[in-house]
Amino acid sequence: MRRRAFIALLSGAAAWPLAARAQQAAKLPTIGFLGGATPSLWSAWVSAFVQRLRELGWVEGRNVAIEYRWADGHVERYVEVVAEFVRLKVDVIVTGGSATPVAMRATSTIPIVFALAVDPIAMGLITNLARPGGNVTGLSALSPETASKRLEILREVVPSLGRVALLGNVGNAGTVDEIREVQAAAQTLGVEIDRLEIRRPADIAVAFERLTSGAQALYVCPDALINANRARIGILALGMRLPTMFGFREYIDPAGLMSYGPHIPDLFRRAGEFVDKILRGARAGDLPVEQPTKFELVVNLTVAKALGLKLSESFLVRADEVIE
């Protein structure tokens, strides 16, 4: 064999493993992960999701790829991000509930898993929990169903409660449904409601300016817009000396008073199980939508003291977490 041909053969043999590895990497199943807020705000949720994938045999960078994109609380970014996922031909899209309708309009073929939907039926994501159909499935947060419980807890902490300000993003159909549930519960409890409707971050300050002096507490409906602005909302409420009730534990840092709702990291952990089944061949529409199994009451004792609230020992004992 001539020397030049021999060198060419060796070069080709050396290059083959590199080419094979590149080809293999290009074929990794890919998850498009759309976060409604920022990486720091969703860090615990993402960690729970990735950890569960790892337990199920999916190791990021080894046999699965994850493309992370963040909306930073700006819902108008959803369209751009989802369009990018479609161009990338990801194998599954994972997101929260508020971004799911955008993803559904962009694709009817790529499976979509919502890790956190306030009310998937009211939001029009599905029509049946047991048989979602189409290319969508995931986990419900049951926020409307637990609305009356939050209001009851709020009245327990503020026994003289007669008027509550209700803050929510009315651009989210799930929030609109929760607002109805809160108003129905308030009527039963003899509590009046002041609705503070928002659709974008700029509306938050305006909503607080409209707040009547008679409100004795603030009930905040959870969604991506609220999540991205939760610290600001808590600080504004604390400045007005309003006890706050949030739907998720993560929302009460640093100035919120209380939260009652599902354990969100657990929902994201279980979202990893949906993704595992889909990557192994299951159809999203055949996977029943699941509901929370873990709920938690969290109280920020530092904020309670700042508000001059005296919480009973029995109430604090009932709390799953007391922040001091």
Q: Which ranges constitute the DSSP H helices of the chain? A: 3-26, 43-55, 77-88, 100-106, 147-157, 173-189, 202-210, 224-228, 230-239, 264-279, 301-307, 313-318
* Nearest-angstrom CA–CA distance, 183 and 179: 6
Beta strands across the sheet bearing 65-70: 65-70, 30-35, 92-96, 112-117, 136-140
In the chain, what are the helix, strand and coil shares in percent, each to the nearest 5? Answer: 45, 20, 35
Tell me, which fold does domain 7-141+264-293 have in CATH?
Answer: Rossmann fold (3.40.50)
What Å distances lie between residue 307 and 30, 99, 242, CA to CA?
48, 36, 8
Angle between helices 173-189 and 147-157 in degrees, nearest 10:
50
Q: Which ranges constitute the DSSP H helices of 89-170? A: 100-106, 147-157
Question: Among the CATH numbers 3.40.605.10, 3.40.50.300, 3.40.50.2300, 3.30.460.10, which is that of 147-262+296-323?
Answer: 3.40.50.2300
What ranges do the domains of the chain cover? 7-141+264-293, 147-262+296-323
Could you tell me which of 269, 159, 173 has the C-alpha nearest to residue 221?
A: 173
Print pLDDT tens along the chain (324 aa). Answer: 444 443 444 344 444 343 434 444 457 999 999 999 999 999 999 999 999 999 999 999 999 999 999 999 888 999 999 999 999 999 999 999 889 999 999 999 999 999 999 889 988 999 999 999 999 999 999 888 899 999 999 999 999 999 999 999 999 888 999 999 999 999 999 999 999 999 999 999 999 998 877 999 999 999 889 999 999 999 999 999 999 999 999 999 889 999 999 999 999 999 999 999 999 999 999 999 999 999 999 999 999 999 999 999 999 999 999 999
Could you tell me which of 98, 89, 85 has the C-alpha nearest to residue 32?
A: 85
In CATH terms, are 7-141+264-293 and 147-262+296-323 the same topology? yes
